[in-house]
Structure 1
Amino acid sequence: MTDANPDLGTAITEFTAIIRRLRAPGGCPWDAKQTPETLRTYVLEEAYELIEALESREPDKIREECGDLLLHLVFISDMYNEWGEFSFTDVVRGISAKMIHRHPHVFGDEKAETLEDLRRLWQRAKEQEGKGTKTGSLGPVSPALPALTQAHRLGEAAARLGFDWPSVEGALEKVEEEWQELRQALNQPADPAWEEELGDMLFALVNVARFLKIDSENALRRTIYKFIKRFHVVERTLAKAGKTPESATLEEMEAIWQAAKQGGSG
């Protein structure tokens, strides 16, 4: 294999040197005091900002957010390098070896003629690596994934084993069933069943999304963005009248919200 970008190695070397300089004595006090634990929140924030950039489809924004996420990966690797555990070079070599292992149809003698063949080879490789939480025939599902994504993956795995509805209609009927059970539970005083039934309802909705080939995480994220956009309209409209959400009535805010909705704001 050849590197299509001969400057890549130099760029990475220069970048890792910058990180070491920042963390060294006489560098940046904030960078020097960081630990893997303190960086967890920043890593998550940067990952979500990259997702937002990808949804914007703006190359400059995507490039910048890729760099911000890379910063934290190199940052963490440099810490462990100081402790004699592993370096960023080890990280890159490790992921290279993993990709080769997970693509035996490209780098080995395995044959993969269908998408199902590819899925089988990938899943087998992950199991050999001990990745994810074993869930019997359902295969490994990483507990680190967002709950909606875990639910989607489990639904896919169950479907491959034949445990699924013939069409989306069955999944929709399940949503109706879970909705009625949730309503019944809510007729009782505060009860642990509320949480259980709400969870069942969410799982059923994820299965509907799966049938429709919709990513539940993305769908919910878009709705969140839409809510924020509309609420900003509410705030701006109230501000023109010398009011704030706290001083306005619910009826006033609802009227502005509906107008924003009809006007295409989100």
Structure 2
Amino acid sequence: MKQFQELPPRRQEQLMAFDRLLTIMDELRAQCPWDRKQTMDTLRHLTIEETYELSDAILEKDRSEIRKELGDIQLHLVFYAKIASEAAADSSDHFDMTDVLNSVCEKLISRHPHIYGDVVAETEEQVKANWEQLKLKEGNKSVLGGVPGSLPALVKAMRIQEKARGAGFDWEEKQQVWEKVEEEMQEFKAEFNTDTNEAIDSSRAEGEFGDLLFSLVNYARFIDINPETALERTNKKFIKRFTYLEQQARADGKSLSDMTLAEMDVYWNEAKTI
């Protein structure tokens, strides 16, 4: 382990900045009524919110905002570690930032035997396969056991498929995956007739729609498209265009509730050119 004085100047600055954050956290926890009151449970929803704000900044490619949101998330990580450090030293609930950092360092070393050991892994797929096998050796009972239950469904589908692939359970060709998409589409359509208003079995239709979405996520993964990112970009595009429609209609003295769809389409098509 290098001594502090032996480190490159920029690394020294990084460590000093981290020490500054730890010190401020200590002071806030001791002196600020709001910070003293917080628990892991009260911080949880705020951390989720900060993570989504970072995600938005990344999609917008706003480096300044990314830097800000990374700082907010780092604060939360320090906060959790500070709260844990206040538990009795002999308690299983006790740990501090040193334990957190050493733990992730040890995990990274053990999960990268092709870097820190004698295992050979020359491709990304080999690295992923080794990673999943190591997790099973560490105690995971299933390859899918590491997928958080609270993940949004679209992200969860992607992670489930990635982990299954890491275990060797996957299609061989993208054409096979597309054929599965078409099969699921036909099964979904078979649950109702789009040309009539006949009642449908909502439960069965929902199940087939879920299968269709899952197969589309699978195909997106095969062609290196992140479905969550793709859908969110479409969400943002729709919001931008619909907001333009509202603003222009209002500027022309019109109300959306009184306009026909054809009239709205005029503004919508204008929005596409912006």
Q: Tell me which interval the TM-score lies in, with the shorter structure as reference length.
A: 0.7 to 0.9
Among 147, 152, 159, the alignment partner of 2:153 is 147
C-alpha displacement of 1:217: 1.2
Tell whether the 8 Å contact from 1:22 to 1:31 is kept in structure 2 after alignment. yes
2:267 maps to 256
TM-score normalised over the length of structure 2? 0.81
1:239 maps to 250
TM-score normalised over the length of structure 1? 0.83
- 1:33 aligns to 2:44 (yes or no): no
Assess, with a 3 A threshold, how the Cα gap between structure 1 residues 260 and 71 changes in structure 2: closer, same or farther: same
Alpha-carbon separation, structure 2, partners of 1:47 and 1:124: 29
Q: Secondary structure of 2:225's partner? A: coil
Tell whether the 8 Å contact from 1:141 to 1:154 is kept in structure 2 after alignment. no
Alpha-carbon separation, structure 2, partners of 1:86 and 1:80: 5
Q: Secondary structure of 1:57's partner? A: coil
2:122 maps to 113
2:63 maps to 59
Assess, with a 3 A threshold, how the Cα gap between structure 1 residues 158 and 122 changes in structure 2: closer, same or farther: closer
- 1:122 aligns to 2:131 (yes or no): yes
Q: Which amino acid aligns with 1:134?
A: S
C-alpha displacement of 1:241: 2.4
Matched positions, count: 256
Among 70, 85, 108, the alignment partner of 2:74 is 70
User: Identity over the aligned pairs, expressed in percent?
Assistant: 41
Assess, with a 3 A threshold, how the Cα gap between structure 1 residues 247 and 39 changes in structure 2: closer, same or farther: farther
Ranges in structure 1 where 5+ consecutive residues have no aligned partner: none
Assess, with a 3 A threshold, how the Cα gap between structure 1 residues 30 and 185 changes in structure 2: closer, same or farther: farther
Pairwise mapping of residues 1-266 of structure 1 onto structure 2 (< 5 A)?
A: 3-4=7-8, 5-25=11-31, 27=32, 29-84=33-88, 85-131=94-140, 134=142, 140-144=145-149, 145-159=151-165, 161=168, 163-164=170-171, 166-186=172-192, 188-189=199-200, 191-246=202-257, 248-261=259-272, 263=273, 265=274
Alpha-carbon separation, structure 2, partners of 1:143 and 1:208: 22
Alpha-carbon separation, structure 2, partners of 1:35 and 1:251: 54
Moved more, 240-249 or 112-121: 240-249
Alpha-carbon separation, structure 2, partners of 1:117 and 1:172: 25
Q: Which amino acid aligns with 1:121?
A: N
Alpha-carbon separation, structure 1, partners of 2:255 and 2:30: 48
Assess, with a 3 A threshold, how the Cα gap between structure 1 residues 152 and 240 changes in structure 2: closer, same or farther: same
Tell whether the 8 Å contact from 2:132 to 2:163 is kept in structure 1 after alignment. no
RMSD value, Cα = 2.6
